[in-house]
Amino acid sequence: MTLDQLDAFVATVEHNGFKPAARSLGKHSSTISTLVATLEDIVGFDLFERLPRSLVITDKGQELYNEAKAVLREADMFQSKADSLQQGIKGKLTLAIDSSVADDKVLQSIQTVSTQYPSVKIRLLSGDTLQVRTWVLSGRADFGISLATHTNLAGLDVQRAYSFKIAVIVPLSWNADNYTSLAALRSELQLCYSFFIELGMEDAHIVSYRTLECNDGRQMIDLVEKGIGYAVVPEYLAEKAIQEKRVKQLELAEQKPALWYTNLIKLTDAILDPVGERFYKEFGQIADK
């Protein structure tokens, strides 16, 4: 029994005949019919009932169809694994993703690469900005993508990726006319990323005298919606809440900072295999937002 025989059998079932199956496989119809007939000799029963103008799969043939598809899938995975080994691919990769940057573009990039390398086991670690950095430093993740911290750390290779606009959002109950500048927000409670405080980035990002620290941008948006305070978050994270009128976006005379950035990070001496390099390239090509 050969893979060619199983391939011909499955194609004949899925395309309802030898001729359309032959066209799908780029072979002559006589070749397909011969492969199927040989397979029938091997299994000892007919896979199809041959009518004057059509083929009808038999009950036994139907049962073998699903098994044949499974064998062909396994064969494809085997070939893919062999190709990966030949290309120097390790077979597994761990990515650390900052939950605040895990938007559709990042997830699409993951899907694109994972589809290209189906035999590679990909593990995703999702956490806050500092967790991503810790996972990469400890070797738990091969590399990570996170909000930029603007602080250099020994042992890490940091590459700037895409930038994005920010939004200052407030609860619906607040009168936006009362907040036309950052100075007007100083007495209000500011929800902010915890790493701003932990890394000493208050001067660049903290406006208010009072703060509530969070490690997740989506959590901050939920808290704003509940009326707890205001927040400065990536605009793409808040876009849906703004459109659904669950929060308000302020238009201020000045916004600090105007843009934020994302970073790709890996160990300085880390050598990525072709899959890691493909991910790095894919994330690096995400357009500014």
CA atoms within 13 A on the CB side of 89: 25
CA–CA gap between residue 237 and residue 100 (Å, rounded): 8
Check the CA dihedral 177-182-185-190 and report its sign: positive
Q: What is the pLDDT of residue 71?
A: 86
Q: Are 227 and 171 in contact (CB under 8 A)?
A: yes
Question: Is-contact 143 280, C-beta < 8 A?
Answer: yes
Give me the DSSP letters along 71-113: HHHHHHHHHHHHHHHHTT--SEEEEEEETTT--HHHHHHHHHH
pLDDT in the model for residue 193: 92
According to the model, what pLDDT value does residue 180 have? 87
**Helices 29-43 + 18-25 axis angle, to 10:** 110
Phi and psi at residue 167, to the nearest 5°: -130, 135
pLDDT digits 0-9 by tens, 232-249: 999 999 999 999 999 999
Give every residue of the chain whose pLDDT is below 50, as ranges: none
What Cα–Cα distance (Å) separates residue 137 from each residue in 128, 216, 274?
Answer: 14, 21, 21
Compute the distance between CA of residue 215 and CA of residue 129 in angstroms, rounded to an integer.
8
Which two structure tokens, joined as six digits, stand for 148? Answer: 């930029």
Torsion (CA) 65, 24, 37, 72 in degrees, nearest 10: -40
> pTM for the full model?
0.66
Strand partners, 259: 165
Q: Which pLDDT score is estimated for 62? A: 85
Question: Can you tell me the distance from the alpha carbon of 224 to that of 235, in angstroms, rounded to the nearest whole number?
Answer: 14
The closest of 8, 5, 9 to 47, measured between CA atoms, is: 9
Measured CA distances, 10 to 13, 48, 95, 194, 200 (Å)? 5, 12, 37, 56, 62
Using DSSP's 3-state secondary structure scheme, residue 248 falls into: strand
91, HSE (Cβ side, Cα atoms, 13 Å): 6
CB 279 within 8 Å of CB 93: yes
